Amino acid sequence: MNKELYSQMQISYKEEKKRSFMNTTTVGKYLAKRLEQIGLQDYFAIPGDFNLTLLDELLSNPKLKMINCCNELNAGYAADGYARSHGLAALIVTFSVGSLSAINAIAGACAENLPVIVVSGGPNINSIMKDHILHHTLAETEDRQEYVRDMFRKVTAFATIIRNLADAPHQIDRAIEIALTEKKPVYIEIGCNLADKPICLPGPFNFDKKKTSDPDSLKAALKHVASFLNGARTPVLIAGPRIRSFGAVESFRKLADRSDYGVACMPSAKSFFPETHPNYIGIYWGSVSSPGCREVVESCDAYLFAGPLFSDYTTVGHTALIQPNKLVNVCQGQVQIEGQSYHGIDIAEFLEKLAPKLKKNSNSKTTYKQIKGEAAAPAPKLKELLTTRRLVARIEEMLTAKTTVLAETGDSWFNGMRLKLPEGCRFEIQMQYGSIGWSVGAFLGLVSAPEKRKVIALIGDGSFQMSAQEISTILRYGYNGILFLLNNASYTIEVKIHDGPYNVIQNWKYSQLVDVFKGTKGKGWSCVVKTEAELISAIKKAQKFKGLSFIEVILDREDCNKNLLAWGTAVANYNSSPPNL
């Protein structure tokens, strides 16, 4: 072969190789591009030896920001909070010791219908194929280290292990699509020696496919429900937590406007319907409903619950008096009414098409106006020990359309329910899963989300002790927010359900933790308030400050919301009911 021909062949080979390289990316970069394409700007991460190469690949995408958390559980809580604000979130962990630390938070996201994409760096696939015993594992080889994936299958809509480069694009795309359509977390495990290996470039793909109803089932359901509600004397609407998950908030409001029915919200749907709306009648929560609301709802002859979740918490130990013969239960996927079930129904489409079929009926709204009674907050006593009632009254004055209130599991739930929210103000609780400690991580997720709303958190001291480290992350990144630490030296919610010495906690000097956690660069301040005068001064400073404002509020141990007493008694009775043997 002559030298000229050989040289031309070499040039052709190099050009072909270059063209081939230009048409590829890596597994990690493919994932990063997909996260960018679905609208993420941030992801939460904890490094570990199985995910370090993956993190390098993700960092190469300048449109995504890595938020490093203190531990995986808190990072999972942060992803939960971020998804509430932004609609989805991503969490990057390492195999087993990292992913299993996060699994409790992901279970909460699953229960609350939040799409969180969990990505775990996995063991080297060669080690898996050879059945080698690896660190961070159970020291067994029988399941080829698939036990983590199998555990996540219980708390996600989809869980997969990527061990084949050719299959990586399909598995990543499939997981993201399921997360967005099912509104549930998914789990993707990527072998640590695959993250930087070449695969094809991501092509165009519509992930968030709009679900449509079965036309025949939809038609029949609309006819049945319209006839039932139009024949009722006093119908009422109740918003449930899943109307947000499945994009039905606006459809529900249109239904309320068109029908003129009175409208209540379940506690986990507070803020999903404007509390300033003329048809709003309060929070329906069984025996601990807002004044007048329970009497109206339970006396109505027809009630439509949209996207409800009937648990022992939301029904106060299953004591709420909801009669099946009066109930229209509209869920994602089905409508239940008078013993009939219609399947294949999209909740948003159903509510929107039901609205023009209903006759106006304002009877439930009128009844509420006649019987409602609301005890006013006690007058301020500026120099006396602060009470939760006066704290709530002062926080209410801070709220705007750009505020999000976060309330931790416990007494903060009930105090938060007292808040009268201006239109646009949001309210977040984790009522279904109720994981104590969720709030600090969720606070991080909310303050870091792109929407940049002013976030006000109500967090009890017992809950705070579960996940306090993430204050460090909030300070590290300079996020804005106001945290009210309610210090009454106990797990108040547990005290009211079942008291014992285990409900007494070590009383930290909470406000001093801001100085401990902020190091040399963090931006935050803290104070301790005992009186309303001190609270007023602290709030003025917090509203002007750019960064974390941490206000420790000293409260009496017995100062709790009266509804917590009734709720705790009912839940305790339900928990202690004897077995039916």
* Predicted pLDDT of residue 566: 67
Give the separation between CA 76 and CA 93, rounded to whole angstroms. Answer: 10
At 418, is the secondary structure helix, strand, or coil?
A: helix
At 267, is the secondary structure helix, strand, or coil?
A: helix
Residue 470 has pLDDT above 80, yes or no: yes
Between these two residues, 400 and 19, which has the higher pLDDT value? 400
How confident is the prediction for the chain on average, in pLDDT?
90
* Predicted pLDDT of residue 380: 81
Residue 212 has pLDDT above 90, yes or no: no
Residue 5 has pLDDT above 70, yes or no: no
* pLDDT per position as a tens digit, 426-457: 999 999 998 999 999 999 999 999 998 999 99
Residue 349 has pLDDT above 70, yes or no: yes
Domains with residue ranges and CATH for the chain: 25-200 (3.40.50.970), 215-371 (3.40.50.1220), 388-568 (3.40.50.970)
The pLDDT of 294-300, averaged and rounded, is 92
pLDDT grade for 16, boundaries at 50, 70 and 90: very low
User: Do 411 and 500 contact (CB within 8 A), yes or no?
Assistant: no
pLDDT grade for 405, boundaries at 50, 70 and 90: very high
* pLDDT per position as a tens digit, 301-330: 999 999 999 998 888 888 888 999 999 999
* pLDDT per position as a tens digit, 127-171: 666 666 676 777 676 666 788 999 999 999 999 999 899 999 999
Q: Is the dihedral of CA 259, 264, 266, 270 positive or negative?
A: positive
Interior/surface letters 107-145, b for 16+ CB within 10 angstroms, e for the rest: bbbbbbbbbbbbbbbbbebebbeeeeebebbeeeeeeeb
Q: Which residues contact 444 (CB under 8 A, 6 or more apart)?
A: 67, 69, 74, 77, 78, 81, 470, 473, 474, 479
The pLDDT of 174-194, averaged and rounded, is 95
| Structure tokens that stand for 446 in this block | 């909310």
* pLDDT per position as a tens digit, 82-137: 999 999 999 999 999 999 999 999 999 999 999 999 999 998 887 666 666 676 77
At 329, is the secondary structure helix, strand, or coil?
A: strand
* Predicted pLDDT of residue 135: 65
Q: Which residues contact 428 (CB under 8 A, 6 or more apart)?
A: 81, 84, 404, 405, 406, 407, 442, 446
Instruction: Choose among 196, 119, 104: nearest CA to 158.
Output: 119
pLDDT grade for 558, boundaries at 50, 70 and 90: confident
At 47, is the secondary structure helix, strand, or coil?
A: coil
The pLDDT of 226-250, averaged and rounded, is 96
* Predicted pLDDT of residue 40: 97
The pLDDT of 564-571, averaged and rounded, is 69
Q: Listing from the earlier edge strand, what are the strands of the sheet with 65-68? A: 65-68, 42-45, 89-94, 116-122, 186-191, 158-162
* Range name among 214-218, 347-351, 424-428, 565-569 with the lowest pLDDT average: 565-569
The pLDDT of 169-182, averaged and rounded, is 96
Residues in the chain: 581
- Measured in degrees and rounded to the nearest 5, phi and psi for residue 324 equal -55, -35
* Predicted pLDDT of residue 17: 47
The pLDDT of 368-397, averaged and rounded, is 84
At 130, is the secondary structure helix, strand, or coil?
A: coil
pLDDT grade for 501, boundaries at 50, 70 and 90: confident
Instruction: Choose among 236, 350, 354: nearest CA to 289.
Output: 236
The pLDDT of 529-533, averaged and rounded, is 96
Residue 206 has pLDDT above 90, yes or no: no
Q: Which residues contact 50 (CB under 8 A, 6 or more apart)?
A: 94, 95, 120, 121, 122, 123, 136, 192
For the whole model, what pTM was predicted? 0.90
* pLDDT per position as a tens digit, 57-76: 999 999 999 999 999 999 99
Q: Which residues contact 10 (CB under 8 A, 6 or more apart)?
A: none
* Predicted pLDDT of residue 117: 98
The pLDDT of 374-396, averaged and rounded, is 84
**CA-only gyration radius of the chain, Å:** 26
Residue with tokens 């009211």: 496
Residue 381 has pLDDT above 70, yes or no: yes
